[in-house]
Amino acid sequence: MPTIAPHPAPLPEITGGVDTHLDTHTAAVLDPIGRILGTRQFPADPAGYTALLDWMHTFGPLRRVGVEGTGAYGAGLARQLHRKQVEVIEVDRPHRKTRRFQGKSDPIDAIAAARTALAAERTGIPKHRDGRVEALRALRVARRSAVEQRADTQRQIRALIVTAPDPLRERLRGLRVPKLITTCAAWRPDTADTAAPATATRLALRSLARRHQQLTTEIADLDQLLHPLVAAISPRLLAVPGVGTDVAGQLLVTAGENHDRLTSEAAFAMLCGAAPIPASSGKTTRHRLNRGGDRQANAALYRVVLTRLRWDPRTRAYLQRRTAQGLTKKEIIRCLKRYIARELYRIITANGLELTPRHP
């Protein structure tokens, strides 16, 4: 009888890890039981991403890749791995204690990333960087920078007025910001006598006021781009009481394009820093304030709470009821942020389904 050649045993699945940097990425490959199969460095460019992936495939079927910094230096590699249908795991940096005992190098960090992905410890699904939410994030970066610079400019104007000569200070100190900016920007001081403190102060105030006006125009231009983009991504989110373009944009960026990576509303609340942290021990059961998460998302929830406390009758009734129960206003605001995080999570992840928002 003819003999049948046995089929070769399938290669075991492997796990990769990558330590990302500006110019180079260092990769490591582990077998299913955590043994190191190899490490190598690749350029941080599209050709390097392809070479890195091909190199990993030489060791066997690639199961998943743990990548440090998928939102920074590893963003391009993460996009390439997504396109190749490879599971990407975002890993945290190693603990300081681990680095103290094992040392620090790119191969060591890549091996640690691979082992973290293999053990599924302290890992998360990275955000996708190739959709409308990524475009929204880029525009919001520019807007936030302009808002911060305008606020700094306004503080500098106030500081100059405090130390200005008495006639100039008396003329400007009582003006509101719009009138103050218009007045200072319209000045035409004599530039021939810049050594005089009064003239130099006028020149400085005019320069700062015109900068303030330019930043205001820039913010308005960005707002005209942001509002239709947010409305196209999630029109129902903009219809929620207390949620405007800025709040909606921040929460959409926090959730990400692939918001299905958030497994529950509790995970979204934790991501926003609105979920209390257990701090129990023995017979004592308590929770403490969560100071982690995305602080910009936490601030967005806070603005929604303040708006509803002023205008929403149900929220004001909730404030009165909880105050009668002995809670402080800070504690009530924390409770409201948790409720609102639950409500907005359902809208962000609804995918067009009509859900009834829950109000506290």
**Residue 307: inside a domain, yes or no?**
yes
pTM higher than the cut 0.85: no
**Residue 320: inside a domain, yes or no?**
yes
The pLDDT value recorded for residue 51 is 95
Residue that is last in its domain, among 124, 141, 165: 124
**Residue 355: inside a domain, yes or no?**
no
**Same domain, yes or no, for 195 and 295?**
no
Amino acid at site 335: C
**Residue 227: inside a domain, yes or no?**
yes
Name the domain count of the chain: 3
**Same domain, yes or no, for 270 and 328?**
yes
**Same domain, yes or no, for 344 and 243?**
yes
The pLDDT value recorded for residue 104 is 79
Task: State the CATH number of the domain containing residue 69.
Answer: 3.30.420.40
**Same domain, yes or no, for 341 and 246?**
yes
**Residue 188: inside a domain, yes or no?**
yes
The pLDDT value recorded for residue 42 is 96
**Same domain, yes or no, for 81 and 174?**
no
**Same domain, yes or no, for 150 and 95?**
no
**Same domain, yes or no, for 57 and 81?**
yes
Average pLDDT, the chain: 88
pLDDT band (50, 70, 90) for residue 101: low
Which stretch of 17-31, 86-100, 194-208 has the lowest confidence by average pLDDT? Answer: 86-100
**Residue 6: inside a domain, yes or no?**
no
Q: Which domain holds residue 84?
A: 14-124
**Same domain, yes or no, for 180 and 90?**
no
**Same domain, yes or no, for 255 and 314?**
yes
**Same domain, yes or no, for 62 and 142?**
no
**Residue 9: inside a domain, yes or no?**
no
**Same domain, yes or no, for 282 and 300?**
yes
pLDDT in tens, 248-285: 999 999 998 888 888 889 999 999 999 888 877 777 77
pLDDT in tens, 288-341: 778 888 999 999 999 999 999 999 999 999 999 999 999 899 989 999 999 999
